[in-house]
Structure 1
Amino acid sequence: MGSQAATTSVNETGWAASLRLGFEHARGKTVLRHREQRGPLAVQRTFHPEGDVCHLYLLHPPGGVVGGDRLEIEANLTDKSAALITTPGATKFYRSAGAQAKQIQNLAIDSGSMEWFPQENIFFPGARIQLSTTIHLNGDAHFIGWEINSLGRPTVGERFEQGEVDLRLRINRDQRPLLIDRLVITDIESQQGTATLRDCPVVATMLATTATSDELELARKIAQENPDANLGFTLVDGLLVGRYLGESTEKARNLFIQTWMAIRPSILGRDAVAPRIWAT
């Protein structure tokens, strides 16, 4: 399965960990050809529940991120490969004593398709975190993915009253930007404006490339069928963008899964096959 390094590193204030993955198409299916890991980031073995598509689960054994941690995740697809990447549970970002934690994710699709479906990020009050995701597409490469973020834990009445969350999301095709998105939250007030989060603790974004007005219509139909949800979709230059604001990460995830199941057949030419772990 390629190379693997399993050394553990701790910097002066927290963990330094990295995971680099390389996928290729060989003998009729996508395989994980390269894996290089350092620190507490790992993967379970790959699955092929739909034949050629490689399903993979990212693992972060410590179960949470604290101030000073630096996590780097890189995934590369070549040779018309197809991968679906998810996580077994939420990523929790805990209160920091002062140092900022960083999670940097670079996803590159030279040829083929990537589906990026991590479970939600939960930012505990007092956390200081920069979460940066960049998607690099070349040619006619496809991407469908989402990010679901919870400011505090609304299910127990906890709000993100202090700290700093810096969310950065960028998608490029052939080195030209399709979307540059940034949201910085520092306190309750920065969540309350009508032009920001409207006092909603859960904010989520879904992206799908090479979309058309047909996929936009399918996505908007799901939004119309859920009028109680703050869910909307737009289409710009072939990029379908979905936005959710609300109180529930489960609601956001379920709506995005419905959307994915509706648009996947026309974008990727495959019926939706949910990862096994979503049913546990």
Structure 2
Amino acid sequence: MRSEEFATAQASSDPTRPGPGADAGARRRQRSEGAIVLRVEASRGVSRAVRVAESGASRLRFPRGQHGLDGAMLNVAGGLACGDRMSVEAEVGPHAALTLSTPGAERIYRSDGATTQVATRLAVEAGGALAWLPQETILFDRARLARRLDAEVAPDGRLLAWEALMFGRAARGETVQVGDLEDRWRVRRGGRLIFAETLRLNGQIRDLMAKRTVAGGRACLATLLYVAPDAEAKVDDVRRALDGCDVEAGASAWNGLLVVRLLACLAERLRDAARAVLPLLMGRPLPRVWSC
């Protein structure tokens, strides 16, 4: 087992901490909540959703496609802030395949109190394949986000996970000065922990991102994780694909696990890298919502 725990920069004080009045105001508001629960199974070589449940502001749709079962996740609330809670639970049965993505970026707005909670639980059973491919999450100034991804993968299952973060909207000249982010990943194969990581950025986000040991002044970052029997064999192809992209990236592979880290000045550069690399690992084109 190779288990890694990263704590990337935490400020000694938190300028985003609200005063007593702000906490009381946040409690009085009606907060947005949403949940998606999904199970996919294979029948005669075709993957079908056998259980779909959605609640609150979360919706799941299955656009017609030519490359298998693609699910598009939507947040009809239009963004998240101040204690909103969203969750996704997706199970892929034996020899079934599923791709989950979003039609656009998710936005985490400024908070005057509580932290937005986003939780994802993924399970891939024997011979199954799951691609978790949401488009980027945009953090606004003074946003507070705690995000967690937990995955359980069978020894011969395949999991491809992509998550991108954008600090502010560069096209509008916006930056994230202060905020609070915790991004926690835990992945198990056959019940054994193989990947553990926690990214924490708290307080003066802009100053932290400017450090060479964090992001070197770049405002966009992404992590790609590929858990599969052929993961190590793919690393050279992934590196060659990234060579032609305007991003700073590094890829490593060990024990059936491939990890790619990416940094960019613009979200568009991360999307270009995703379009170059993800189809290589999926063995098919990206879902149509990625071209919207």
Q: TM-score interval w.r.t. the shorter chain?
A: 0.7 to 0.9
Match of 2:12 in 1: none
Within the candidate set 184, 201, 205, 1:185 is matched to 201
Task: Tell me the TM-score normalised to structure 1 length.
Answer: 0.88
8 Å contact kept, 1:73–1:104: yes
Within the candidate set 68, 80, 86, 1:71 is matched to 86
Within the candidate set 16, 30, 37, 2:54 is matched to 37
Q: Work out whether 1:104 is the aligned partner of 2:119.
A: yes
Of all paired residues, the percent bearing the same amino acid is 24
1:48-97 superposed Cα distances (whole Å, 9 cap, x missing partner): 412xx211101111110011111111101112110011100100000111
Q: CA deviation at 1:223?
A: 2.4
In structure 2, C-alpha distance between the alignment counterparts of 1:139 and 1:212, rounded to whole Å: 12
Alignment of 1:152-171 (within 5 A): 152-171=168-187
8 Å contact kept, 2:73–2:103: yes
Gaps of 5+ in 2: 1-26
Task: Tell me the TM-score normalised to structure 2 length.
Answer: 0.84
8 Å contact kept, 1:218–1:263: no
- When the two chains are superposed, the root-mean-square deviation of aligned CA atoms in Å is 1.8
Within the candidate set 119, 132, 154, 2:135 is matched to 119
| Secondary structure of 1:71's aligned partner | strand
Higher relative CO (CA 8 A, sep ≥ 6), structure 1 or 2?
2
In structure 2, C-alpha distance between the alignment counterparts of 1:110 and 1:147, rounded to whole Å: 22
Change (3 A) 1:114 1:212: closer
In structure 1, C-alpha distance between the alignment counterparts of 2:90 and 2:231, rounded to whole Å: 26
Match of 1:225 in 2: 244
In terms of mean alpha carbon deviation, does 70-79 or 149-158 score higher?
149-158
Match of 2:74 in 1: 59
1:138-177 superposed Cα distances (whole Å, 9 cap, x missing partner): 2211011200101111222211111201111222112222
Q: Which amino acid aligns with 1:34?
A: R
Q: CA deviation at 1:125?
A: 0.4
Match of 2:40 in 1: 23
Q: Which amino acid aligns with 1:24?
A: E
8 Å contact kept, 1:220–1:233: yes
In terms of mean alpha carbon deviation, does 190-199 or 202-211 score higher?
190-199
Equivalent pairs, count: 262
Alignment of 1:118-157 (within 5 A): 118-157=134-173
Q: Work out whether 1:14 is the aligned partner of 2:9.
A: no
Within the candidate set 225, 236, 261, 2:279 is matched to 261
Gaps of 5+ in 1: 1-9, 266-271
